[in-house]
Structure 1
Amino acid sequence: MPLDSIDINVHMYTMSQKIERTQTGIRIEKRLLKVLKGLAESLDMTLGDLIEGITLHSFENKPAFSEDTLEKIKQLKSVYDLDWTAEDSHRFKEDGE
């Protein structure tokens, strides 16, 4: 089940499980971060919760998003001029490389 379509009661139950979070600083492409922040806001969740959900779904090879949310992602990518796909992720280079 996509993370954005989880019933609120199930989500609340899951979130009541005790977990330990760590503050981290990650480097991420600027436009990708804007899309992720916009998506988290539209789903009324924190960026950390969104990243955790995407990652856990990915680990189990399950889709993280509903069709409606994929459409929202498409809109956000257009707004922030993000035209990359999954294939591009293996070709990123930073300045000076």
Structure 2
Amino acid sequence: MTERVTVERVQTGLRIEKRMLKVLKALAEYHDISLGDLVEGIVLYAFEGKSAFGEDSLARIRDLKRIYGMQLDTGDAHRLQEADPP
């Protein structure tokens, strides 16, 4: 069994694109982990320049993006802006 690492977590008011959140929640559910655990894992891998996902997960992500109508990709990363309020 892998040794656990104790951390201090904080609650945050993170704002995120609606369809991206749906994909992340569904992916966390698929892996039977919390959304926070999924995001922490993605960030830890990204900080080391690695992908957090294998081929099976990437295929699942493609399916979930299609299901939820998420067409954003890395080219959009620094171009997102809030929609005008209704």
- Would you say same fold, with TM above 0.5? yes
CA RMSD of aligned residues (A): 1.0
The total of aligned residue pairs comes to 84
Partner of 2:72: 84
Partner of 1:36: 24
- For normalisation by structure 1, the TM-score amounts to 0.82
- Report matched runs for 1:1-97 at 5 Å: 9-10=1-2, 13=3, 16-96=4-84
Shift in Å at residue 95 of structure 1?
2.6
Calculate percent identity across the aligned residue pairs.
Answer: 51
- For normalisation by structure 2, the TM-score amounts to 0.92
In structure 1, runs of 5+ residues without a counterpart are 1-8
Distance 2:81 2:50 in 1: 28
Deviations 1:39-85 (A, max 9, x none): 00001110000000000100000110000000000000000000110
Deviations 1:13-59 (A, max 9, x none): 2xx22110001111001000000000000011100000000001000
Shift in Å at residue 90 of structure 1?
1.1
Distance 2:39 2:72 in 1: 18
Distance 1:77 1:19 in 2: 31
Higher relative contact order (CA 8 A, sep 6+): 1
Amino acid at match of 2:83: D
Amino acid at match of 1:54: I
In structure 2, runs of 5+ residues without a counterpart are none
Distance 1:33 1:63 in 2: 19
Shift in Å at residue 88 of structure 1?
0.6
